[in-house]
Amino acid sequence: MSGADEKTRGHAAHTRDAEERGLPGEFSRPVRIAMLGAGSSFTPRLVNDVLRTPGAERGQIALCDIDENRLGTMHALIEKLIASLGRDGWTVESSTKRTDLLEGSHYLVNCIEVSGVDCVRIDNDIPARYGVDQCIGDTIGPGGLFKGLRTIPVWLDVLRDAERLCPDAIVLNYTNPMSMMCLAAARESTMRVVGLCHSVQATSSLLARRAGVRFRDLEWECAGINHLAWFTRLRSGGRELYPGLFEQARADLAGQPADPDDAGDLVRKDMMLHFGAFITESSGHLSEYLPYYRKSAEARDAYCRDGYEGGSSFYADHWPDWRREADRSRLAMLHGDEPIDWKRSWEYASWIIEAREKDQPYRIHGNVPNRSRGAGPAIENLPGDGIVEVACMVDRNGFAPTVYGRLPPQMAAICSSHMFVYELGAQAAIERSVEAAVQALLLDPLTAAVCTPDEVRRMTLEMFEAEREFLPGFH
């Protein structure tokens, strides 16, 4: 379960100059934070965020990764970060065995990556031969499903150890496929798990810039599922912002952008015009969630662009290089050749920890069960036993989802269809069921747009055979 550093490329921590640097007060106790998959590129920035939190005077960072070289480098880098910030009350320890570190932890940050780069080309290239063209392929589609099948069994082992060693800890999950990971946890574990993404923070800030308003003046609501959450309310100073955004989008799609520097992001702009609201995930990744934009070369040419804008095989082509670059960069930071003087980011982890330790309510958008603890659903017209992404309030008691209500039906339909893919994907991982995996891809929107059911089955079985080493126990 080596760190999932490469997925942060292009989805880097969304940072902006905060008007407030934190909540008033001090932490109620020295906190212990276990970083699982500590070789991840998330780790330095998330630890930096915690260390820069006002009132976080004492604590322990416990690093776990099965890659000894990456773990050793990260341990030294975190020690250097602690020293550079003058946080003498913090210590760091590390081990390749998570059971050495979990006991007494108040927070678990999960960034594990199962199989490293070994399956990246398989996840991309076998589906490509069947006509399934992927850009990212780590949360949905064949690539996302098989990442889940490899990762979820290990994830559930982690949670079982946590139930025994730190049952009161809050688990902050950053590993994809987010919805499947959180759903499997909800079905199989008693741990309190919240899935954290940065697309809500990044997209809300993006929309403020496009609308020409200050972020602090933006009034918005956002709800749905991970990577498919919708900004259903978007106002500033009593003014509706969507009419202006619609006008911009029409010009961009017609090839006559008012702002040439913001002429891309065409999939999200097109979806906004047809479905009525803007979606959280970037256009390239979003194009994989839908049956419309990648089913033919003509569709890709019309709506997709290079890189994160929708480039074919983008992750598969670059993932190994990103991993090597991440390793090089960490050594450069350690040796003083690259800076480590980062501002506190708006990744949610440190803000959740601060809100809980200071008992100061703070709002995040998290991936949580739609119906939990006997309460009604957060989103009324989505499956109650699935995972949704909604506003959650955090305080001493942990995180509590807020009730959104009903999504507009066309938006709910898009989300609901994906939730059944995740249902079958999580079931396949929990039960080690090849048949449930086949059925998940039969329902996947992009796969179904280009493959017959027989082709879906043959493709899935071919992927199982190619990845047999990483899928023990499947039948």
User: Which is nearest to 46 in space by CA: 201, 36, 222, 322?
Assistant: 36
DSSP element (H, E) containing 110:
strand 107-110
DSSP reduced 3-state for 62: strand
Instruction: Name the token pair of 81.
Output: 């970060």
E strand segments, 261-386: 278-279, 362-369
> Any catalytic annotation for residue 242?
no
| Dist. CA 416–CA 93, nearest whole Å | 43
* Cβ-contact 459, 142 below 8 angstroms: yes
* Cβ-contact 344, 49 below 8 angstroms: yes
Could you report how far apart the first and last alpha carbons of the chain are, in Å?
23
E strand segments, 239-310: 239-240, 278-279
Residues in CB range of 328: below 8 A, 6 or more apart: none
Q: Is the peptide bond before 177 cis (omega within 30 degrees of 0)?
A: yes
User: Which is nearest to 161 in space by CA: 99, 94, 97?
Assistant: 99
Residues in CB range of 9: below 8 A, 6 or more apart: 318, 322
User: Which is nearest to 415 in space by CA: 185, 198, 195, 224?
Assistant: 224
> Any catalytic annotation for residue 106?
no
Instruction: Name the token pair of 317.
Output: 């082509």
Question: How far out from the chain centre does Cα 84 lie?
Answer: 29
User: Taking the CB of residue 328, how many other CB atoms lie within 10 A of it?
Assistant: 12
Residues in CB range of 374: below 8 A, 6 or more apart: none
Residues in CB range of 118: below 8 A, 6 or more apart: 470
CA 430 vs CA 123, 355, 378, 427, 451: distances in Å:
20, 33, 25, 5, 26
Instruction: Name the token pair of 466.
Output: 């190619």
CA 114 vs CA 21, 125, 196, 365, 367: distances in Å:
35, 19, 19, 26, 21
Instruction: Name the token pair of 386.
Output: 């699935």
Which of 198, 227, 285, 365 does the annotation list as catalytic?
A: 198
Which of 130, 174, 289, 315 does the annotation list as catalytic?
A: 289
Residues assigned a catalytic role: 198, 289
